[in-house]
């Protein structure tokens, strides 16, 4: 017997099981975490690093053809919600790459998962040839998705836009090439040629020839409900609008795309009855329901926003991305596309799957969801901070036309609206917060809002007052 046949496992498995490799990974995690533990508060840049940092920023601008929106270049280290920049400054990260780093900075589990991924023979996996990891990730996602929906299969890909492109193709094929799509006003779907046309933002498709036919539906707003004369009347109006589109273009709609909690559109959701009325109508007309949870997944009061709203039975196609690292399109058995429709060179990096699995396991580990879960509690604490700020400085919160209150969102999708939602002032406020040591962003199409997507699983409830100290300092500059 040769030596090779005597060993009852693969070489790949031997590497993963090697005590020497495990010890090396333990050392990496320990060293990184120990060093990162020095990062405990925000701090200003180190003046000695200023010129080298400015030079890096200039090189970035040269590559991009324009300056960076925020002069942000991370050093590669952080601690939870605190991130260190390459100029030595430390800031609160309340936006996490638009929600990508939900497990925070230098999370020991993430570093371990990345180190394990580094053992693989290649960095990228593909649709043609792959290790099991992409399918393991898909299997885990489907296992949780199936608890509240009929979603059965998944296509794994590298970006939210690509997941959405795959979703729309599945719908087109199911509907024999029906060319139209129904979408909500103010939705956002990504930046590919098709997705920038579905997204309701003129700035996102300047100069792009229009090849996709979209019928926009009103989304739920307080102003819309008031104008209609109440919730039931608003829902009836929207259903009538949907019927009108279908009557005008019979059998011409491939799908209705639902963003159950609008992200870029301003962290807005709607009552279940609104979605049920429209989804029931879709079922009646044979129009597939496509649910884009690329921004909302994981952060509402359930892992899936359709579970929060108890809408899983209606969902035919579903997309996820951002915090999951690997992105995916999921669909029901009835929507299963023909071979050849979906593929692509890459499914993702090994670390997309090891970190993606860690993320899903963390979310499922308990305590985060439900009306009394940690994410709902964080939202309550955030709201209290905004209310307290507004009562200390009512002049910064003059009220917003068509919107009651200055706080909004759900779970880890948090927004507040100073300065009446004025675009220029909101952008100024975000930039002032950046300068003071807090990174956030804006959302909405008017009113505009300050948007937070904090790394909730690693964020300490006691840190909300520290974060709002920075907010207050910054708003004072703008106010």
Ligand X SMILES: Cc1ncc(COP(=O)(O)O)c(C=O)c1O
Q: For binding to ligand X (CB under 6 A), which residues are involved?
A: 98, 159-161, 164, 188-190, 259, 263-264, 292, 294-295, 321
Q: How far is the CB of 293 from ligand X (least distance, A)?
A: 7
- Residue nearer to ligand X on the CB measure, 188 or 275: 188
What the block records as the tokens of 40 is 């405990």
Q: How many residues does the chain have?
A: 479
Nearer to ligand X, 425 or 451 (CB): 451
Q: At 192, list the tokens.
A: 């590919």
Minimum distance between the CB of residue 201 and ligand X, rounded to whole angstroms? 11
Minimum CB separation of residue 322 from ligand X in Å reads: 6
Shortest Cβ 198–ligand X spacing (Å): 9
Give the β-pairing of 82-85 and 90-93: antiparallel
Distance CA 250, CA 327 (A): 33
Q: 107 or 295: whose CB is closer to ligand X?
A: 295
Residues 297, 323 contacting (CB under 8 angstroms): yes
Smaller CB separation from ligand X, 168 or 386: 168
Smallest distance from ligand X to CB 195, Å: 7
Comparing every residue's Cβ against ligand X, the nearest one is: 160
Closer of 189 and 390 to ligand X (Cβ): 189
- Give yes or no for a contact between 316 and 331, defined as CB atoms under 8 angstroms apart: yes
- Least separation in angstroms between CB 158 and ligand X: 8
Structure tokens at 57: 């920023």
Report the residue number, 199 or 447, with the smaller CB distance to ligand X. 199
Smaller CB distance to ligand X: residue 255 or 294?
A: 294
Min CB(183)–ligand X separation in Å: 11
Cα radius of gyration (the chain) = 23
In terms of CB distance, is 53 or 331 closer to ligand X? 331
Please state the closest distance from residue 190 (CB atom) to ligand X, in A. 3
Least separation in angstroms between residue 196's CB and ligand X is: 10
Smallest separation (angstroms) from ligand X to the CB of 59:
24
Backbone angles phi, psi at 422, to 5 degrees: -70, 125
CB 194 within 8 A of CB 168: yes
Q: Which residue has the tokens 């060293």?
A: 31
**Which residue's CB is nearer to ligand X, number 115 or number 270?**
270
Nearer to ligand X, 327 or 390 (CB): 327
């Amino acid at each position: 017997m040769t030596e090779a046949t005597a060993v009852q496992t693969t070489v790949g498995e031997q590497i993963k099981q090697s005590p020497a490799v495990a010890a090396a990974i333990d050392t990496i995690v320990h060293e990184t975490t120990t060093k990162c533990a020095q990062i405990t508060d925000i701090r200003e840049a180190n003046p000695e690093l200023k010129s080298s940092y400015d030079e890096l920023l200039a090189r970035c601008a040269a590559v991009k053809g324009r300056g960076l929106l925020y002069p942000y270049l991370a050093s590669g280290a952080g601690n939870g919600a605190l991130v260190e920049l390459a100029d030595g400054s430390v800031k609160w990260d309340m936006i996490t790459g638009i929600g990508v780093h939900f497990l925070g900075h230098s999370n020991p589990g993430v570093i371990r998962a990345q180190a394990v991924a580094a053992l693989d023979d290649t960095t990228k996996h593909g649709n043609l040839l792959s290790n099991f990891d992409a399918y393991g990730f898909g299997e885990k996602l489907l296992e949780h998705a199936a608890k509240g929906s009929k979603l059965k299969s998944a296509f794994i890909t590298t970006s939210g836009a690509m997941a959405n492109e795959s979703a729309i193709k599945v719908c087109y094929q199911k509907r024999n090439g029906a060319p139209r799509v129904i979408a909500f006003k103010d939705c956002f779907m990504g930046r590919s040629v098709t997705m920038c046309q579905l997204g309701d933002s003129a700035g996102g498709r300047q100069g792009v020839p229009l090849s996709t036919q979209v019928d926009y539906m009103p989304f739920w707003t307080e102003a819309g409900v008031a104008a209609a004369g109440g919730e039931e009347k608003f829902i009836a109006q929207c259903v009538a609008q949907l019927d009108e589109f279908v009557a005008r273009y019979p059998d011409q709609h491939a799908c209705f795309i639902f963003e159950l909690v609008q992200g870029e559109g301003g962290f807005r959701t709607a009552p279940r009855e609104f979605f049920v009325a429209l989804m029931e109508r879709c079922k009646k007309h044979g129009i597939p329901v496509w649910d884009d949870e690329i921004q909302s997944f994981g952060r509402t009061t359930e892992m899936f926003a359709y579970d929060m709203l108890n809408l899983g039975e209606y969902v035919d196609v579903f997309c996820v991305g951002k915090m999951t690292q690997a992105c995916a399109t999921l669909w029901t058995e009835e929507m299963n596309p023909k071979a050849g429709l979906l593929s692509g060179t890459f499914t993702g990096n090994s670390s997309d799957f090891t970190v993606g699995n860690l993320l899903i396991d963390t979310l499922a580990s308990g305590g985060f969801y439900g009306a009394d879960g940690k994410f709902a509690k964080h939202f309550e604490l955030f709201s209290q901070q905004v209310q307290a700020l507004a009562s200390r400085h009512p002049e910064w919160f003059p009220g917003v036309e068509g919107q009651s209150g200055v706080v909004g969102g759900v779970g880890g999708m948090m927004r507040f609206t100073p300065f009446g939602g004025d675009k220029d002032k909101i952008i100024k406020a975000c930039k002032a917060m950046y300068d003071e040591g807090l990174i956030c962003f804006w959302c909405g199409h008017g009113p505009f809002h300050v948007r937070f997507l904090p790394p909730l699983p690693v964020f300490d409830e006691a840190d909300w007052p520290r974060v709002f100290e920075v907010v207050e300092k910054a708003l004072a500059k703008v106010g």
